[in-house]
Structure 1
Amino acid sequence: MTEVEIRIPAPASAVFDVLADGWSYTNWVVGASHIRDVDSEWPAPGARIHHSVGPWPLLISDTTVVLAADPPHSLDLEARLWPFGAATIHLELAEVEDGVTAVRMAECASAGLGRFAPEPAQALLLRPRNKESLDRLADLVLGKYRD
């Protein structure tokens, strides 16, 4: 698994609130470009975000499904991108000091051609992308949460 981490000066509940807003997915997930629908149960296990990735007009439509959720501590997702496969993503939130949350994102290819790539090759692509995603997540959290 490729892992990245960031510390956000906000409580874990504030960070999870952004993760729980499926409509904000394209605002922090690098590559996601359009939300078509979000199941009303999001982020309950089995709920889906119906999204598109890529630049217009070359959009590819697919879904991300919640595998497990433990608000405000963790969220496990499977992001699919037909025809390329799927990835499993684990987001873990831990308050490391009062009002500061460490967010760790771990991702690995779980289906399709990507799962055959060695971990160092996956890391070359995923680490910078996921670091940027967590930076965007932090910006959204800080934009909504003020002491």
Structure 2
Amino acid sequence: MAVVNVLVQRRPEQVWDVLADGSSYAEWVVGTREIRAVDDGWPALGTRIHYTVGLGPVTLNGSTTVRHVEPGRQLGLEADAQPIGSARIAIDLLDWGDDTVVVLDEHPLRGPGYRLHNTLSDAVLLLRGRPMVHNLARLVERRHPREGASGAGGR
């Protein structure tokens, strides 16, 4: 299990605004090459984002399904990229004064990724998760400028 967090210098509703924009995921989710389609109503329960992920010349088509949603507070996703398997991704938004703490918890759920899960794979997830939450923070702060503020906090 890999848990990372970041302080975003914006309100939770501003962070949610970016999470609710399925077309923005390629801008902050590490490894995403392109968003191919976003279901109408994203991020309603059961809706999906369809994308291409890649590392170097290797690419896979995948989809992420909303499994749990509390608008403005929590988003539970299942990211599926076969033949690797799927992962559970929980994103929690914690109100932190004028800011938001984003907690991202990701771990293998099904398939070979789950069966081969170990400390090394957790380290890889952490290496992916840290830049991902920082990318999200930068995107939120860019989309929602704050008078007299520059850059994301906690870096």
* TM-score (ref. length: structure 2): 0.89
Change (3 A) 1:115 1:55: closer
Task: Give the unaligned 5+ runs of structure 1.
Answer: none
Matched position secondary structure for 1:18: helix
How far apart are the structure 1 equivalents of 2:32 and 2:114?
Answer: 20
In the other structure, the counterpart of 1:35 is 35
Q: What letter matches 1:25 in structure 2?
A: Y
The runs of at least 4 consecutive aligned structure 1 residues that moved more than 3 Å come to 55-58
1:93-132 equivalent positions in 2, closer than 5 A: 93-97=93-97, 99-132=98-131
In the other structure, the counterpart of 1:4 is 4
Q: What letter matches 2:80 in structure 1?
A: R
In the other structure, the counterpart of 2:150 is none
Q: Measure how far apart 1:120 and its partner are.
A: 1.9
How far apart are the structure 1 equivalents of 2:99 and 2:116?
Answer: 35
Q: Measure how far apart 1:68 and its partner are.
A: 0.9
Q: What letter matches 2:96 in structure 1?
A: V
Deviations 1:22-74 (A, max 9, x none): 00011000011111100011000100001011158643112100001111101
Work out the number of aligned pairs and report it. 146
**Alignment RMSD (CA, Å):** 1.3
Q: What letter matches 2:21 in structure 1?
A: D
In the other structure, the counterpart of 2:144 is 145
Q: Measure how far apart 1:128 and its partner are.
A: 1.4
Sequence identity, in percent? 36
Q: Which moved more, 1:111-120 or 1:43-52?
A: 111-120
**Is the contact between residue 108 and residue 117 of structure 2 (CA under 8 Å) also seen in structure 1?**
no
* TM-score (ref. length: structure 1): 0.94
How far apart are the structure 2 equivalents of 1:70 and 1:43?
Answer: 10
Q: Measure how far apart 1:117 and its partner are.
A: 3.1
How far apart are the structure 2 equivalents of 1:56 and 1:115?
Answer: 23
**Is the contact between residue 108 and residue 122 of structure 1 (CA under 8 Å) also seen in structure 2?**
no
